[in-house]
Amino acid sequence: MTFTNMVLIGVALFAIVGAIGAFTVAFRRSRADAPAPDPTAGVSEETRRSDRSMEGVRVEPLPEPEPVSEPQPAEVEVEVEAEPSQELAPAGGSVQVIERQRVIEVTPEESGVTRRQFFNRALSGTFFAFLGLVGINSLAFMWPKLSGGFGTDVDAGTVADIQNQTVAADGSIVPVFVPEARAYVVPSPVVPESMEGDGVEAAGLMALFQRCVHLGCRVPWCATSQGFECPCHGSKYSSIGEYFAGPAPRNLDRFVVEVQSDRFIIKTGTVIQTPRSQLLSVSYPRGPSCIGG
Ligand code: FES
């Protein structure tokens, strides 16, 4: 993993941690901003009814509770003056009946979440879930491909197989195209001086990038001339990709290659560019051109 990739991954992780922190702060603020709890919450409906229907209700507050370390629900005793009872009253008189009811104040946690709090939390949760998905997708996009596909080390097959395929029975060259690497593997009887030390040759083979260095057309192989000829603007290259003719500014680009356990590996993560060859290292053209000119 390169230093750049590690930095990108670090930035993405930092963003995710920041989003989680922001969510936590917003969540705590929403709790702090919540309206004060209704002191009558938890009072039974029967009590409320009797409270509304009766006149002369007298509330005797209980003495202030002793401070305790843990917040305890406050209890208030309410004395409700009921209708004078005729049944219990002595003849010619009446008896005053007082019902004692206990009102317990509950904390916001005990009374549950208000509708406003619920919508705030749902909205915040949706937003941060969306943010998390975007972050994960970004991370997946930036995560380097470690194996397989263009940009990685591509296994083109065994060296023996490729060597056999690239030279026909009559001695002519038949490049092996490796789609995953977007490259032609060609025999390289010599390594041009300008390419020495770049690691572009292994086991007598080279891997040429299929893209024309002029404007990017795919360059096909021409069996009759034994070279690569671009149909777009007529650039021509030898069998090992040396510049021969046309507007191309340099030789065909190529990749670093190596042999690992008898397998030919094309390292497509690095493209090697070389200047136009002054003299061709291999014979070209060996027959009629495919595009004329
Ligand atoms: S793109 Fe190949 S010659 Fe222009």
| Interacting residues of 113 by C-beta distance below 8 A, sequence separation 6+ | 121
> For 211-238, how does the pLDDT look when each residue is reduced to its tens digit (9 = 90+)?
999 999 999 999 999 999 999 999 999 9
Whether the model clears a pTM of 0.85, i.e. scores above it, the answer is no
Given a cut of 90, whether residue 167 has pLDDT beyond it is: yes
> For 178-210, how does the pLDDT look when each residue is reduced to its tens digit (9 = 90+)?
999 999 999 999 999 888 888 999 999 999 999
Helices 3-32 & 115-142 angle (0-180, nearest 10): 180
Q: Please give the pLDDT value at position 183.
A: 97
Q: Please give the pLDDT value at position 159.
A: 97
Mutate to test the pocket of ligand 1, among 210, 221, 232 (most ligand atoms within 8 A of CB): 232
Given a cut of 70, whether residue 280 has pLDDT beyond it is: yes
Is 233 near ligand 1, meaning CB less than 6 Å away? Answer: yes
**Nearest atom, ligand 1, residue 216 CA:** 1
208 vs 145 pLDDT, higher one: 208
Is 212 near ligand 1, meaning CB less than 6 Å away? Answer: yes
**Nearest atom, ligand 1, residue 215 CA:** 1
Q: Please give the pLDDT value at position 24.
A: 74
Mean pLDDT rounded to a whole number for the chain: 81
Virtual torsion, Cα 230, 236, 241, 247, nearest 10 deg: -90
Q: Please give the pLDDT value at position 13.
A: 73
**Nearest atom, ligand 1, residue 246 CA:** 3
Given a cut of 60, whether residue 259 has pLDDT beyond it is: yes
Mutate to test the pocket of ligand 1, among 214, 229, 236, 250 (most ligand atoms within 8 A of CB): 214
Q: Where are the domains of the chain?
A: 1-35+114-144, 39-106, 153-272
> For 260-271, how does the pLDDT look when each residue is reduced to its tens digit (9 = 90+)?
999 999 999 989
At residue 17 the predicted structure's pLDDT band, cuts being 50, 70 and 90, is confident
Angle (nearest 5°) at CA 194 between 186 and 251: 55
Cα separation, 56 vs 36, whole angstroms: 28
> For 59-105, how does the pLDDT look when each residue is reduced to its tens digit (9 = 90+)?
556 667 676 666 565 666 666 665 655 555 566 666 676 777 777 77
CA of 287 to the centre of ligand 1 (A): 21
Given a cut of 90, whether residue 5 has pLDDT beyond it is: no
Q: What residue's CA is closest to ligand 1, atom 1?
A: 215
Fold of 153-272: Rieske Iron-sulfur Protein (2.102.10)
At residue 136 the predicted structure's pLDDT band, cuts being 50, 70 and 90, is confident
Cα separation, 185 vs 190, whole angstroms: 14
Cα separation, 84 vs 94, whole angstroms: 6
Is 252 near ligand 1, meaning CB less than 6 Å away? Answer: no
Q: Please give the pLDDT value at position 68.
A: 62
3-state secondary structure of 214: coil
Is 214 near ligand 1, meaning CB less than 6 Å away? Answer: yes
Given a cut of 90, whether residue 255 has pLDDT beyond it is: yes
Given a cut of 90, whether residue 249 has pLDDT beyond it is: yes
Cα separation, 122 vs 285, whole angstroms: 72
